[in-house]
Structure 1
Amino acid sequence: MITVTRPRCRTSIMADYTLGPAVYLKIFFHAAKHPHTQVNGVLLGRKTANTVEIIDAIPLLHHWTSLSPMMEIGLDLAGKHAESLQLQLVGYYQACERLDDTALAPVGEKVASRIKEGFGDAVAFVINGEKIGTEEAALIPYIALSSSSSWRPSADPSPFTPGSKFSLSNPDLPSHAIALVRDQQLHRKFGDFDDHLEDVTIDWLRNRAAMPSDLQHVPE
């Protein structure tokens, strides 16, 4: 009798994702500044053990949201900035024109897939417009299907709740973001790569002018 030994199947364990305060605030400010247009940007971070720490966000565009030469240049500059901080591009974010639209746009899939080529645990987030004014995390995570370049919402039924693979470093960030927009209008000082092309003095890579004083030097 011939005994056939089957090879062991390697199971892929999904990473955990933690978003730091600068990340959530920058995504929120970007969407708040351009509430009627699509906006997008990239996420910077590192992986420690099985946790992806998302430390910073760089806003790209609100005019040229297709995979245009401007997008290509912005991605290249963002990648070099990440390297200068000893971080990686680890994800992508997007807000849609309509509050009820939570689909990752085709250009978002392309950019996220490109990031995934350099960082296997890349993630994408689409802003949930119907939650952006609430105390809940207004982000819908998207994960790439392993066998293709297609991206789908995470199977996690309740992201950013206890026990989820996705968490905020501070659960009060959504309400804090609302207060900073309502009371200090910090989103008006926020600039993306589009803004920088019109006014080169805008620090789109760091956006220190738009950050609360305790976050103006994040990341170190």
Structure 2
Amino acid sequence: MTNVKFTENAYCKMVLHATKYPHCSVNGVLLSKTSPLNNNKEIEFVDAVPLFHICLNLTPMVEIALMQIDEYASKKGLTISGYYVAPENVREDSFDKLYNRISDKIASNCTNSYVVIVNTTNTSIQKGRRALKVAQYADGTYRQCEDLSVSDDAINICLSALNGSLYNNLVDFDNHLDNIRLDWTNTTLNKEIQSLL
């Protein structure tokens, strides 16, 4: 089974997105650098791009977002290889109930794709537990990954970011479509997360 790793940036942005909109489901995509030398034994998600918090499956908006993210990722030498969702009902943690349209699209373009469920209940994060459940998408089904790495640094930085209310600075595609001056790549937020290292 593949070892799945998350950098501080990817982990924090998923949690911050879910925290900013606790009253609704949120989703986004994960970008990774993959090495052909490891035979798909390891994947590291280096960034998360928040998508939506209003309507997760509105097809025209998804298409626009994925085209822009794909162009951005290829310039950075990254691949869209994961999809994350934080359901508004935190008890809903079944991979079978995920919003499959986007994850299917990612799987059709990336043979080694993943789905992440984010659980941002205060108890899980405040106690230093990782707030993720991960599955690899293969042959039309989700297989949960047990070999999951989120460093203590990532969890501690995420706690600091939450305490500093950095979620207010996060811009998802819904925000960007409302005001195109808002930066969906979250350059400023990325720098703020890096400053916590």
Query: What is the TM-score of this pair, normalised by structure 1?
Result: 0.78
Give aligned pairs, total.
189
| Structure 2 partner of 1:56 | 47
What's the Cα RMSD here?
Answer: 2.0
2:128 to 127, 135, 139: 135
In structure 2, distance between residues paired with 1:31 and 1:63: 12
In structure 1, distance between residues paired with 2:67 and 2:96: 20
In structure 2, distance between residues paired with 1:116 and 1:191: 25
Amino acid of the structure 1 residue aligned with 2:106 = I
Q: In the alignment, does 2:12 pair up with 1:25?
A: yes
In structure 2, distance between residues paired with 1:214 and 1:65: 26
Amino acid of the structure 2 residue aligned with 1:186 = L
Task: Give the 3 Å change call, closer, same or farther, for CA 107–135 of structure 1 in structure 2.
Answer: closer
1:188 to 168, 187, 190: 168
Q: CA shift at 1:104, angstroms?
A: 3.8
1:174 aligned counterpart, secondary structure: helix
Unaligned runs of 5+ in 1: 1-13, 157-164
In structure 1, distance between residues paired with 2:43 and 2:109: 14
Structure with a larger share of its residues in helix: 2
Whose RCO is larger (CA < 8 A, sep 6+)?
2
Q: In the alignment, does 2:22 pair up with 1:40?
A: no
Given that residues 18 and 167 in structure 1 are in contact (C-alpha distance below 8 angstroms), is that contact kept between their aligned partners in structure 2? yes
Amino acid of the structure 2 residue aligned with 1:204 = W
Amino acid of the structure 2 residue aligned with 1:192 = D
Task: Give the 3 Å change call, closer, same or farther, for CA 176–113 of structure 1 in structure 2.
Answer: same
In structure 2, distance between residues paired with 1:173 and 1:21: 4
| Structure 2 partner of 1:173 | 154
| Structure 2 partner of 1:3 | none
Q: CA shift at 1:155, angstroms?
A: 5.3
In structure 2, distance between residues paired with 1:106 and 1:91: 16
Given that residues 82 and 89 in structure 1 are in contact (C-alpha distance below 8 angstroms), is that contact kept between their aligned partners in structure 2? yes
Q: CA shift at 1:178, angstroms?
A: 2.0
Task: Give the 3 Å change call, closer, same or farther, for CA 155–195 of structure 1 in structure 2.
Answer: closer
2:189 to 210, 213, 219: 210
| Structure 1 partner of 2:178 | 198
1:115 aligned counterpart, secondary structure: helix
Given that residues 94 and 104 in structure 1 are in contact (C-alpha distance below 8 angstroms), is that contact kept between their aligned partners in structure 2? no
Task: Give the 3 Å change call, closer, same or farther, for CA 73–47 of structure 1 in structure 2.
Answer: same
Q: Deviations over 1:124-174 (max 9, x none)?
A: 10012442443111001122243xx2325x152xxxxxxxx2112x32322
Query: What is the TM-score of this pair, normalised by structure 2?
Result: 0.87
Unaligned runs of 5+ in 2: none
Identity of aligned residues (%): 26
| Structure 2 partner of 1:159 | none
